[in-house]
Amino acid sequence: MKDMKPVASSIRYTLFLGIAVTALGLIWTFLSGRGEPSDILSGLMALEPYSVMETGLLLIIISPMIGVVSAAVVFARQKDLSYLLVSLVVLSIVILAILVGML
Amino acid sequence: MEMVFLLGLVLTGVLAGIVGSFFGVGGGVIVVPALTILFGFTAQESAAVSLVGITASSSYAASFFISKDLVNLRLGMVLMVATVTGSVVGALFAAQVEEWALLALFSLVMAYSGFYMIRNPERLSAHSVMTGSGRIYSNRTEIDGRMMEYKVDHTASGVAVSGVSGLLSSLIGIGGGSVNVPLMNIWMNVPMKVSTSTSSFMICVTAMSGAVIYYLNGTLLPLVAAAVSLGMVVGSFIGSHSTRYFDGRTLRRQFSVFMFVIAAICLLEAGGIL
């Protein structure tokens, strides 16, 4: 089952990107002393340091999810439909929870 | 934010990362008590920050184990249906739970983990008694150069207990490994190395699901989370590369004493004495 490598690499790349962006954002926030903008999207557009940091955090947070998506793809390729379904169920629970949380 | 404060948070994270990767526990052991007792954050806020740090460190560990083919992704996926559900429920309702209850719960889990660490039970033979329930997967995996075949047992009850593990994870900000690993190894007949590896994957997915809810409802403090999780990443790097220099067993015993102390402190905190 060495074809699980894409799962490992997808988690790693997302995580490292997230760590780098978070570190960048944190240092920048501290140096610029600017406070918290109200909205992350507009803050990111305006390149607010705090929003950059927040984006990094979100990247860190979603890295395992990228792994689950990757695993689903691998299961699909292996024609393992039951576990493709299980992965999609896990994914759906998180997405559903996000939607509920956004209310 | 004060430089000293920020530095303190980063150092807390570094310590948590070292301890976590060294002893195979999540960083929650250090982060939650430090944040509640030393920094004065609420139990829920501390749990949220802890979960982000745990996501970061366990994701990296998981990716490493996955590439070594030690993770039973299928088993993990099935159990994660339960852990993620539990975690999401926990995070959604955490604000409704009294802080003292969360701290008492944390204290209980710490005491349990401390005991578990001393006793360190392990099911060595993966081929033993089959009860015949839920034999859904069999797997062959290469451990230390030997091909091992094992059949997963007690899947249904395993899923049920995993749900509790997930609930605890988001409520008190731990990874859940101290439930997952014995559950898989002792109850479900999975070899130890596969159990710990699969657990790390389960932990990162479970932790992130709690973290994302906390982020959305404002419990997660981004600046604090950034400082602590970056510290934890550095700490895990240091910890995982230092294991060869120390005697594991003595340290584990010493650490379990430490966990009992933490448990006692948190209990006092729950009772309003601290």
What residues of chain B lie within 8 A of the CB of A73, using their CB?
none
Number of A/B CB contacts below 8 angstroms equals 143
- Tell me the C-alpha distance between A49 and A45, whole Å: 11
Beta strand spans in A22-89 (E):
none
Q: Which pairs with CB-CB distance under 8 Å and at least 24 residues apart come from B4-10?
A: B5/B39, B6/A30, B6/B223, B6/B227, B8/B38, B8/B39, B9/B39, B9/B224, B9/B227, B9/B228, B9/B231, B10/B227, B10/B228, B10/B230, B10/B231
Contact A68 B222 (CB under 8 A): no
User: What residues in B contact A93, CB-CB < 8 Å?
Assistant: 81, 84-85, 88, 209
CA A13 to chain centre: 10
Q: How far apart are alpha carbons A23 and A44 in whole angstroms?
A: 15
Q: Smallest Cβ distance to A11: which of B62, B209, B223?
A: B62
State the nearest Cα–Cα gap between B52 and chain A, in angstroms. Answer: 7
Contacts of A29 in chain B (CB under 8 A): 223
Considering only CB atoms, B229 lies closest to which of A11, A60, A68, namely A60
pLDDT score at B145: 61
Q: Considering only CB atoms, which chain A residues are within 8 Å of B94?
A: none
DSSP per-residue letters across B212-223: HHHHHTT-S-HH
Show Cβ contacts of residue B249 under 8 Å, excluding neighbours closer than 6 positions.
Answer: none
Note the pTM of the prediction, 2 decimals: 0.91
Give phi and psi for B129, each to the nearest 5: -55, 125
CA distance A12 to B61: 9
**pLDDT tens readout for residues A34-43:** 777 767 778 7
Which residue among B74, B205, B227 sits closest to A64, beta carbon to beta carbon?
B205
Tokens matching residue B12: 């807390």
* Between A74 and A102, the higher pLDDT residue: A74
* Residues in B touching A18 (Cβ below 8 Å): 56
DSSP assignment string, B90-102:
HHHHGGGS-HHHH
- A101–B92: do the CB atoms touch at under 8 Å? yes
Task: Give the span between the Cα atoms of A17 and B9, in whole angstroms.
Answer: 22
ipTM of the complex: 0.94
Nearest to B222 among A54, A87, A97 (CB): A54
Per CB-CB distance under 8 Å, the chain A contacts of B6 are 30
pLDDT (tens digit, 9 = 90+) per residue, A48-96? 899 999 999 999 999 999 999 999 999 999 999 999 999 999 999 999 9
The region that residue B139 occupies, defined by phi over 0 for left and psi between -120 and 50 for alpha, beta otherwise, is: beta
Q: Which two tokens stand for residue B40?
A: 């004065």
The angle subtended at Cα B18 by Cα A53 and Cα B2, nearest 5°, is 40
Q: What is the pLDDT of residue B254?
A: 85
What span, in angstroms and rounded, lies between the C-alpha atoms of B155 and B32?
31
The Cα B242–Cα B236 span in angstroms is 10
The alpha carbons of chain B give a radius of gyration, in whole angstroms, of: 18
Task: Going residue by residue through chain B, which has 274 residues, state the pLDDT in tens, using 9 for 90 and above.
Answer: 688 999 999 999 999 999 888 877 778 999 999 999 999 999 999 999 999 999 999 999 999 999 988 899 999 999 999 999 999 999 999 999 999 999 999 999 999 988 888 887 776 654 433 333 333 455 666 666 666 778 888 999 999 999 999 999 999 999 999 899 999 998 998 888 889 899 999 999 999 999 999 999 999 999 999 999 999 999 998 888 887 777 777 788 888 898 999 999 999 989 987 7
Instruction: Report the alpha-carbon angle B67-B10-A54, nearest 5.
Output: 70
Q: Select from B85, B84, B115 the least CA-distant residue to B207.
A: B84
C-beta atoms of A93 and B227 within 8 A: no
Residue of A nearest to B213 (CA): A101
B173-207 core/surface letters (b: 16 or more CB in 10 A; e: else): bbbbbbbbbbbbbeebbbbbbbbbbbbbbbbbbbb
Q: Which amino acid is at B98?
A: E
What sign for the dihedral angle of Cα B228, B234, B235, B236? positive
pLDDT at B133: 31
A22–chain B nearest CA distance, Å: 6
Helices (H), chain B: 3-23, 28-33, 43-67, 73-93, 99-119, 155-172, 177-182, 192-216, 222-240, 248-270
Q: Which of A50, A57, A96, A98 to mutate to test the interface with B (most CBs of B within 10 A)?
A: A57
Contacting residues of A for B3, CB less than 8 Å apart: 30
Interface test with A, best of B68, B199, B230, B234 (most A CBs within 10 A): B230
